Structure 1
């Protein structure tokens, strides 16, 4: 097991940094929630905002939120006035809006990026909707930085494996068209690296997509500590594993450096998170990297040290904030103030160590 290192002595990091801004994600109140058998109910946007606003570590608060553009938090087809009211609500809690998540999945607005022409058009429609909402938030003033996150919108890798080269080429084609849409709106897209998304389920396949699109000014990578940890282990892609069971600390850091050296130049959005080496799924969301509490005793990652591999030269890539992702935490965990204070403490440590 990789030693987590515990809480660093703050005297090691005496400088006070204003960037990156510290954000919390709103989608843990939605992803994996619902009204199906065994599912927990969603948590409203306003309650998620209030839980986030209550966190406080020695006077430091969360400074913003990253936002999921789908019901019940947001109707992606909402009117301008409805969206302005949402912006007012977020601003009233003292938050900026950073990155937005486009509703690209089947069953929402979008559809699979490796599907037929009709499916591709639905995917692109979701990106257009996200760009429209971003523009309204930008004009309002609540949003001044951040990206729009996408993924392949194809759960699991089995269908992709039926014809991997052709399916990757189709994803690349869809992403190129989406990137042009974003660029025309003055936005950038970030493709989420996560083992459940076909064609993006390993560090090598993700790199193939990014290089295939070849538009770094308009499409980059969104790295999440919990998900990218599993990249090194080759979950869903054993042929690209960088580590074998029983690896040593030295082997871990060598593998982690190899992965981050490949993906960091593309990284324009970053999620701080913890993982215990397991995969997890809830509701309609397929199994992916399990997000753990910041202080989880089974966490495999030294969060602060791992973050440094991704945040090196981040300012030059336009990164202005980082976000915590606690996707699929149980509602009871989300309701506990200590959950958020522990998260915020770790976010502060990351900024103290690697900020600017």
Structure 2
């Protein structure tokens, strides 16, 4: 029996969709991922819940209330709860660039509102005790770099509108730091954009695989933290870099993804290259998962922040063959348990 009951341990549904499709491998259905998640057990510990992607073929963003309640019952029937939700804010699936035309920005906000409505339905149905709605800028770094000042202002304006809508549903928005999103592609641009929004219900969603690339300055070389001649066996230097980055972003962090990265980028399907997700025991993994999670879960004095009630495993763009092995999910849950053992608490 584990000593700690928090943070709750969640799996993610979006690896079954992100990076999949006609120009890659076929998506993996939500029911399949739910079954794998519910079946995992390591030393008597199971996943507590799952975070969801509000996009077909998993969940139609325009689902009716009764359809969402049916989904909730299906998840609850597997003894799981729901946490954070990914809003489909991208132009090719109904959203729009947060710094684009008026129509683009209106569509972005509409997708956020639909996501928040689903989130509220899940909360009201008693299956979603905590979690956020995840967003990004839905634009690429090169387009943003054409006019960083004005484009950051436009993204902030759109996010501000989205925050106001989310507040009506009692939701928080979290911007996930991925190097493939304009105005979010470095730790400095991420902080600048968040500061420009000026709303209490927005924060940062830290993913250990993506944020590792912040240290190397991918897509924003002048913001790199580690030196250009950095070698991965210099663990002390890596920890100093992690401390600097998390000191800037931790105060904003309201949602957290446990992950592994080998220091490289990867993209599949239509997804741009971003921080590569590796399996927790990948021999090329650069992170000490449990230890390095502490940079996000504890403050500069080593005290737990308890800023979020659950943590989620994120492993996008794994091959379907890997994702359909039960051992994959056993290893992932074991990594999640190790994080909670070092940085958990009870309530």
TMscore range, shorter length: over 0.9
1:119 counterpart residue number: 104
**Residue of 67, 71, 80 corresponding to 1:86:** 71
Shift of 1:214: 2.3
Gaps of 5+ in 2: none
The secondary structure found in structure 2 opposite 1:282 is coil
Distance 1:278 1:258 in 2: 20
1:190 counterpart residue number: 174
Shift of 1:315: 6.8
1:208 counterpart residue number: 192
Q: TM-score if structure 1 supplies the norm length?
A: 0.93
1:28 counterpart residue number: 15
2:39 counterpart residue number: 54
**Residue of 295, 298, 305 corresponding to 2:281:** 295
Shift of 1:35: 2.0
Distance 1:342 1:317 in 2: 25
Task: Please tell me whether the aligned partners of residues 193 and 221 of structure 1 are also in contact (alpha carbons under 8 angstroms).
Answer: yes
The secondary structure found in structure 2 opposite 1:286 is coil
1:140-187 residue CA offsets vs partner (Å, 9 max, x unmatched): 111110000000011x31111111111111101111111111112111
1:242 counterpart residue number: 225
Task: Please tell me whether the aligned partners of residues 177 and 184 of structure 2 are also in contact (alpha carbons under 8 angstroms).
Answer: yes
Distance 1:131 1:147 in 2: 9
Match runs of 1:251-290 below 5 Å? 251-290=237-276
Shift of 1:261: 0.4
1:174-209 residue CA offsets vs partner (Å, 9 max, x unmatched): 111111111121110000100001110000000001
Task: Please tell me whether the aligned partners of residues 148 and 189 of structure 1 are also in contact (alpha carbons under 8 angstroms).
Answer: yes
What do you get for the CA RMSD once the two structures are aligned? 1.3
Distance 1:296 1:328 in 2: 15
Distance 2:329 2:298 in 1: 26
The secondary structure found in structure 1 opposite 2:273 is strand
Distance 1:103 1:255 in 2: 32
**Residue of 152, 164, 171 corresponding to 2:137:** 152
CA 15–64 in structure 1, closer or farther in 2 if over 3 Å, else same: closer
CA 61–262 in structure 1, closer or farther in 2 if over 3 Å, else same: same
1:272-298 residue CA offsets vs partner (Å, 9 max, x unmatched): 000001100011100000000011011
Distance 2:136 2:295 in 1: 23
1:220-268 residue CA offsets vs partner (Å, 9 max, x unmatched): 0000000000001101111000002334222211111010000000000
The secondary structure found in structure 1 opposite 2:267 is strand
Distance 2:68 2:273 in 1: 32
Distance 1:136 1:15 in 2: 32
Task: Please tell me whether the aligned partners of residues 268 and 317 of structure 1 are also in contact (alpha carbons under 8 angstroms).
Answer: no
Task: Verify: 1:171 aligned to 2:155, yes or no.
Answer: yes
Task: Please tell me whether the aligned partners of residues 31 and 327 of structure 1 are also in contact (alpha carbons under 8 angstroms).
Answer: yes
Distance 2:305 2:19 in 1: 35
CA 208–320 in structure 1, closer or farther in 2 if over 3 Å, else same: same
**Residue of 285, 306, 310 corresponding to 1:321:** 310
1:16 counterpart residue number: 3
**Residue of 26, 49, 67 corresponding to 2:52:** 67
